[in-house]
Amino acid sequence: MSHRTLRTPQHAREAFLGALSAGASIAAACRSADLGRTTVYGWRSSDDDFARAWDEAIEGGTDRLEDEAFRRAHDGVAEPVISGGRQVLDAEGAPLVVRRYSDNLLITLLKARRPERFKDRVSADLNASVKVGTDPKADFAVMVALLDGLAARKARGEPTPELDALPA
């Protein structure tokens, strides 16, 4: 008899929602509850109460992930000091550790909380003029030369705000 048939659907739903509340992804929550994605998405589409519980679990899990990101950015994480493939001990024989902080997590949290202040800023001044004359072939050649110059700058890794500002 399959492991899935030994549990009640309610127990499986609670296990799935509990994993989401802990911050797990949908795939990981399915694995921890021994459920298929099709099953949980079917429940979500056919049961409004389950869909609401799912959304609440995602919010709670996201709060937990944000709290953990803050802890790692603010309080840091103790990591053992390793030298020559072995853990370094202090004078009393206790493992030596160093506290590491995550600037990337801190920046990400600031961007999420105050995007108007910490978002990535890109600005471009698109002032270009091309005089169109009576010779379309010459005008086309001028435009191609301008575009080739931009492409060459981009290939060299130089800033190309003229291209970056164009809609995708």
Which are the contacts of 32, defined by CB distance < 8 A and separation ≥ 6? 15, 16, 19, 24
Q: Which value, in Å, is the radius of gyration of the alpha carbons in the chain?
A: 28
Rounded CA separation 168/163 (Å): 10
Mean pLDDT, contiguous 10-residue spans, the chain (168 residues): 61 96 96 95 96 97 94 93 93 93 90 86 65 76 83 83 70
Structure tokens at 166: 């164009």
pTM for this model (two decimals)? 0.59
Continuous H helices in the chain: 9-21, 26-33, 37-46, 48-74, 103-113, 115-118, 136-155, 161-164
Identify the three-state secondary structure at position 98: strand
